[in-house]
Amino acid sequence: MRRVLALVTAAAAVGVLAAAASAKVTPPPAIKSAGQIVFCTDPTYPPEESLQGSKYVGSDIDIASAVAAQMGVKASFKTIGFDAIIPALTTKKCDAIISGMNDTPERLKQVDFVDYLKVGQSLMVKAGNPEHITSLASLAGKTVSVESGTTNRDFLAAASAKLVKAGKKAISIRTFPKDTDAAAALKAGRVDAYFGDSPVAVYYVARDKSFSIGGAPISPITIGIAIRKGDPLKAATRAAVNAVIASGQMKKIVAKWGMSSAVTLIK
């Protein structure tokens, strides 16, 4: 038994050495020593991140793995609800966040970002669009579901305030802890529309014929990997993301998850 364990350990050591030898970006010493980058993520946001059984899958998962590989280490993932995900990072429960997170001025007060895609937002409606929802203006007096703690929720609130100022009815915003619950509320007829990132809305529509997209994508915003302020992991991550983009791997990942029409690659 000891001999088998020794062989397995030796094989693992060879694997680590091989990964380190192929690394194109030098990671911070703590990451190199750990042999991994631990990413916080909220896996309720397909196709960017979700769970298949206990396995993390999605475009962000593939991107994180590609970034880690550039440093000669592995990516591992920790499930954190989106409302608590920045506090989880700042209290060192993980090394970074990858979770379809928009890079916003408010969040930049708390963390740094390495951007990797630009993503628009979309309105998802019932098939046939019975409420004739095609724009933010058409949401006046309507009930809309959205994931809590997101910039999408804040965006809707701002849009509602503008409608009220223009003498129109407010948007009734219903928040849910999971994006999948927000989509389920539309399917159940409890809301008139769902609001979320375009890749996610496109994913839902492709898999459920009871949904369709209302209008064109709205206000593209950059999404990025969040890292603690002052952490040397930021520079390494920037170099790794640049390498993933330059190699064409980012484009392939986006295409693999059916997101090519819903995102813009950062040059």
pLDDT per residue over 172-222, tens digit each?
999 999 999 999 999 999 999 999 999 999 999 999 999 999 998 888 889
Neighbours of 138 (CB within 10 A): 18
In a domain, 101, yes or no: yes
The pLDDT assigned to 52 comes to 96
CATH number at residue 33: 3.40.190.10
Residues of the chain with pLDDT under 50: 1-21
Task: Write out the residue range of the structural domain in which residue 102 sits.
Answer: 24-118+223-265
In a domain, 159, yes or no: yes
Task: Indicate the number of domains in the chain.
Answer: 2
In a domain, 250, yes or no: yes
One domain for residues 162 and 42: no
Spatial contact of 174 and 147, defined as CB atoms under 8 Å apart: no
One domain for residues 135 and 183: yes
Spatial contact of 68 and 37, defined as CB atoms under 8 Å apart: yes
Question: Using the 8-state DSSP alphabet, how is residue 134 labeled?
Answer: -
What is each CA distance from 118 to 13, 102, 103, 178, 241, in whole angstroms? 38, 9, 10, 22, 14
The pLDDT assigned to 16 comes to 42
* Strand partners of residue 55: 52
- Whole-model pTM above 0.75? yes
> Residue 106: helix, strand or coil by DSSP?
helix
In a domain, 5, yes or no: no
For residue 226, give the H/E element and its range.
strand 211-228
In a domain, 230, yes or no: yes
Question: Using the 8-state DSSP alphabet, how is residue 170 labeled?
Answer: P
The pLDDT assigned to 146 comes to 98
One domain for residues 246 and 126: no
Task: Kindly state the tokens that stand for 192.
Answer: 């008139």
The pLDDT assigned to 22 comes to 55
One domain for residues 158 and 227: no
* Strand partners of residue 39: 77, 96
One domain for residues 227 and 108: yes
